[in-house]
């Protein structure tokens, strides 16, 4: 296999590096998501009940103890409950964006790899074809079909390799983006419920 890939030229290395990076990012995000517990409406309702009863310290302690994205957002929100509603909403929006940004870390890199890999493959093919035609020119055009075909398939190897890396990378990127979108929707639903609930404080 190594000997086979080595015939693809110098760009095989960068393409394989792209595949390793893509796999590492995908596995890292999967592990990260496996540890994420959004802790949605149940946590929101409990903390909101504390807030409605004026038990701010208990609400803050519970939010911090949850060690979840929702808990951290509600902890930030609870700390500014004595301020106006606009400030509360601003803090919630900012905290939510921070959590989503953390969940989205490295995912854009997958999209970049998915775009770069086939281009590297195409570049490798172009360079390979140039090399093949240079050989034909040096031989004065006297080249048999076997030699010509060998040069062409070696040149096209990088395109196939680039596509083989790009396709699963794009699928992985779409999957992770969908996961983040789902988490973001849960956070949004929770914060809206919290804002409505604390608006009913006695």
Q: How far apart, in whole angstroms, are the C-alpha atoms of residue 114 and residue 111? A: 5
Question: 158 and 63 in one domain?
Answer: no
Nearest to 195 by CA among 102, 91, 115, 116: 91
Q: Provide the pLDDT for residue 5.
A: 60
Instruction: Work out how many domains the chain is built from and give that number.
Output: 2
Question: 11 and 49 in one domain?
Answer: no
Interval 125-174: pLDDT, tens: 888 888 777 777 777 667 666 666 666 777 788 899 999 999 999 999 99
Q: Provide the pLDDT for residue 37.
A: 76
Determine the structural domain holding residue 9 and report its residue range.
Answer: 2-34+106-166
Interval 29-47: pLDDT, tens: 999 998 887 667 788 888 8
Interval 76-116: pLDDT, tens: 999 988 888 889 899 999 999 999 999 999 999 999 999 99
Distances (CA, A) of 79 to 6, 58, 160: 60, 12, 55
136 in a structural domain: yes
Question: 28 and 126 in one domain?
Answer: yes
């Amino acid at each position: 296999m190594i000997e086979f890939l080595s015939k693809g030229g110098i760009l095989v290395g960068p393409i394989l590096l792209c595949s390793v990076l893509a796999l590492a990012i995908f596995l890292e995000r999967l592990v990260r998501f496996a540890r994420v517990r959004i802790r949605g409406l149940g946590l929101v309702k409990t903390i909101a009940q504390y807030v409605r009863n004026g038990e701010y310290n208990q609400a803050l302690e519970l939010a911090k103890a949850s060690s979840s994205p929702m808990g951290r957002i509600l902890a930030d929100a609870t700390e500014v409950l004595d301020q106006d509603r606009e400030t509360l909403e601003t803090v919630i929006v900012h905290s939510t964006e921070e959590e989503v940004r953390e969940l989205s870390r490295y995912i854009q890199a997958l999209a970049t790899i998915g775009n770069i890999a086939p281009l590297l493959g195409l570049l490798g093919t172009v360079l390979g074809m140039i090399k093949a035609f240079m050989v034909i020119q040096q031989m004065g055009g006297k080249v048999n079909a076997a030699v010509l075909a060998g040069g062409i398939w070696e040149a096209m190897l990088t395109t196939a390799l680039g596509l083989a890396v790009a396709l699963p990378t794009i699928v992985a990127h779409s999957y992770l983006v969908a996961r983040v979108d789902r988490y973001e929707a849960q956070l949004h639903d929770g914060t809206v419920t919290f804002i409505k609930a604390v608006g009913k404080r006695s």
